[in-house]
Amino acid sequence: MSEVTTITEPGAAIDAQGSLERWIQSRAEPELLASRRREGWADWLAEPMPTRRMEEWRYTDISGLDPEAYSPVSTTGDRARSKEDLPGPVREVLDSDRKRSAVFIQHNGTVEHVRVDPDLAERGVVYAPIDEIAGSHPEILERFLFRSDVAQSERKLWALHTAMLSGGYVLYVPKNVALPHPVHALRYVDEAGGLVSSHSLIIAESGAEITCIDEYLSPDLDAESLSLNGVEIFGAENAVVRYLALQHYGRGVKHFSMQHANTGRDSTLNVFNVTLGADLARCDVSAHLLGPGSESEMLALWFGDRDQRFDHHTLQNHAAPHARSDLLFKGALAGQSHSVFRGLIRVAEGAQLTDAYQTNRNLLLSDKAKAVALPNLEIEADDVRCSHGATVGQVDETQLFYLMSRGLSRPEAERLLVLGFFDEVLSRVPLEGTRERIREAIELKIGLSR
């Protein structure tokens, strides 16, 4: 990436604002989105760039990030008319015989395919590109889009994501509707040097039950691409939302994912991040426990190799009493890869009888790999149960020898140990098909299948 063309410089800003306006015109998009875009752009200009002097950005330097160094991905591609029009890797995922209640496919900035089980559509389930929703159900966007409580440290990128929005979907599931199968969104990027900014807005009304998958794919790209990704989940009373983000971009991508899940009274939330790809992947995952009695489980797995940088920041934001949150993040690092985990449990003054747990475990597979773990508590209520812990360790030589004594080569034995290490998290995924999809992606990344 080129050095900073300081976008906060007045001249540059006006230029950029001008091109933003031209871009908005060219997209002919509804005013609702255009105004959010302008607000986002204004925020982007107003917010200071995160520097390593900020605690949240101490280990990830984005001071040189210049959105104008990327070109916005094309949004004008045609919808795929048949499966053959879809990119090969996307077809491969679709070809697996897993059942899905709905499918969404975005290729760069173009939504190529959306399909919803007609029975569910009839029962009021909406699954459509954001642009379309702006026309058909503006009230949903008014109520929910960009309505999450974004932390100060995240605002700069959130603003850029808002301004540059290119694609994404809304999933709206009405009261008491349980989706029988997962809803699967695939985003495929193959425009080198592009900027894609895609959003997932997921709304489960009271008593609704959903499993939602966001999968990110790309080949290795020879010019750096920027992927900005926002996820907002709203689970109303008694809703059950299971969300999985499976990121296996190729190299050449910088990926920033900002995820905000909001729980209603007695609702259940499960957010699972699998980070395998990209040069740099930063995930800010926040669970806002807004409803009393709600429950959140946050899980993550990552496997880094070569010089990959993964950075996971979490917030278990207990705003309501009687809520419970659990977090288990596990990462394995090979090569010269580095990872950061920074987790915060925040319990507000009125959030009595909170149960909050947080665990991060890291497995280093080489001397040059590095993991930093920073668990944190901020508790203002007095009747709470909280615990946090983090470990960084190497492969156990006794286990390694045991496996090798049965004929496994050292790399094979290490891979099996990594999968074993991951199993504690993987086994918490209730749907077998989803679990298998994750396992496949991980095995592919760590090269277990020969």
Partner 1 sequence: MSEHLLEIRDLQARVADGGIEILRGVDLVIEPGEMHALMGPNGSGKSTLAKVIAGHPGYEVTGGDVLLDGKSVLDLEPDERSRSGLFLAFQYPAEIPGVSIANFLRTSLNARRSEEEGDLDVFAFQKLLNDKLGLLQVQPSFAARYVNDGFSGGEKKRNEILQMAMLEPSMAVMDETDSGLDIDALRIVSEGVSTLRGQDDRMGVLLITHYKRILGYLQPDQVHVMLNGRIAHSGGPELADQLEEMGYDWLHEPEPEPVG
In the set 318, 361, 421, 446, which binds partner 1 (CB under 8 A)? Answer: 421
Instruction: Please state, as a whole number, how many other Cβ atoms lie within 10 Å of the Cβ of residue 374.
Output: 15
Q: Least separation, in Å, of the C-beta of 404 and partner 1?
A: 4
Choose which of 401, 430, 444, 447 interacts with partner 1 (CB under 8 A): 401
Place of tokens 């299971």: 242
Per-residue interface string for the shown chain with partner 1, residues 238-277, x marking contact by CB under 8 A: ----------------------------------------
What is the residue type of 240?
V
402 forms part of the interface with partner 1 (CB under 8 A)? yes
Nearest one of 177, 171, 179 to 199, comparing CA atoms: 171
Task: Rule CB under 8 A: say whether 406 interacts with partner 1.
Answer: yes
Residue 412 within binding range of partner 1, rule CB under 8 A = yes
* Residue span binding partner 1 (CB under 8 A) among the ranges 40-48, 184-192, 230-238, 411-419: 411-419
Q: What SS3 state is found at 250?
A: coil
- According to the binding rule CB under 8 A, does residue 423 interact with partner 1? yes
Element (H, E) at 41: helix 31-46
Helix (H, G, I), strand (E, B) or coil at 121: helix
409 binds partner 1 (CB under 8 A): yes
Eight-class DSSP state of 403: H
- One residue of 20, 363, 365, 417 binding partner 1 per CB under 8 A: 417
Residues 205 and 241: their CA atoms lie apart, in Å, by 10
Is residue 404 part of the contact set for partner 1 (CB under 8 A)? yes
Backbone angles phi, psi at 391, to 5 degrees: -135, 150
Residues 6+ apart with CB under 8 A from 102: 114, 115, 116, 117, 120, 125, 127, 171, 179, 183, 184
- 416 contributes a contact to partner 1 by CB under 8 A: yes
The site map against partner 1 for 370-399 (x = CB under 8 A) is --------------------------xxxx
- What residues have CB less than 8 Å from 121, skipping those under 6 apart? none
Query: Rounded to the nearest whole angstrom, what is the least distance from the CB of residue 94 to partner 1 in the complex?
Result: 24
235 near 207, Cβ under 8 Å? no
Work out whether 403 is an interface residue with partner 1 (CB under 8 A). Answer: yes
Tell the residue number behind the tokens 């496994």, with chain if given.
408
CA angle, residues 228, 231, 235, in degrees to nearest 5: 175
Q: Is residue 245 within 8 Å of residue 216, measured between CB atoms?
A: yes
| Residue from 355, 424, 440, 443 in contact with partner 1 (CB under 8 A) | 424
Q: In angstroms, give the least distance from the CB of 442 to partner 1.
A: 13
Task: Give yes or no for a contact between 109 and 166, defined as CB atoms under 8 angstroms apart.
Answer: yes
Query: What six digits make up the tokens of 434?
Result: 């989803």
81 binds partner 1 (CB under 8 A): no
Place of tokens 């749907």: 431
Q: Which of 419, 431, 435, 443 binds partner 1 (CB under 8 A)?
A: 419
Residue 440 is a binding residue for partner 1 (CB under 8 A): no
Integer angstrom CA distances of residue 158 from 254, 319, 346: 15, 22, 21
Q: Please choose, from the candidates 189, 197, 301, 307, the residue with its C-alpha nearest in 3D space to the C-alpha of residue 253.
A: 189
Locate 127 and state its tokens: 């699954």
Stretch that binds partner 1, among 203-211, 314-322, 386-394, 412-420 (CB under 8 A): 412-420
Minimum CB–partner distance for residue 303 and partner 1 (Å): 14
Q: Which stretch binds partner 1 (CB under 8 A): 58-66, 158-166, 367-375, 415-423?
A: 415-423
Q: Min. distance of Cβ 449 from partner 1 in angstroms?
A: 9
Distance CA 154, CA 230 (A): 11
Nearer to partner 1, 351 or 413 (CB): 413
443 binds partner 1 (CB under 8 A): no
**74 forms part of the interface with partner 1 (CB under 8 A):** no
Q: How far is the CB of 441 from partner 1 (least distance, A)?
A: 17
Site size with partner 1, rule: CB under 8 A: 25
Q: Which of 53, 82, 88, 450 binds partner 1 (CB under 8 A)?
A: 450
- Which of residues 203 and 417 has its CB atom nearest to partner 1 in the complex? 417
User: Binding to partner 1 by residue 420, rule CB under 8 A?
Assistant: yes
The nearest distance, CB 420 to partner 1, in angstroms, is 3
Radius of gyration of the chain from its Cα atoms, rounded to whole angstroms: 21
Binding site for partner 1 (CB under 8 A): 396-399, 401-410, 412-413, 416-417, 419-424, 450
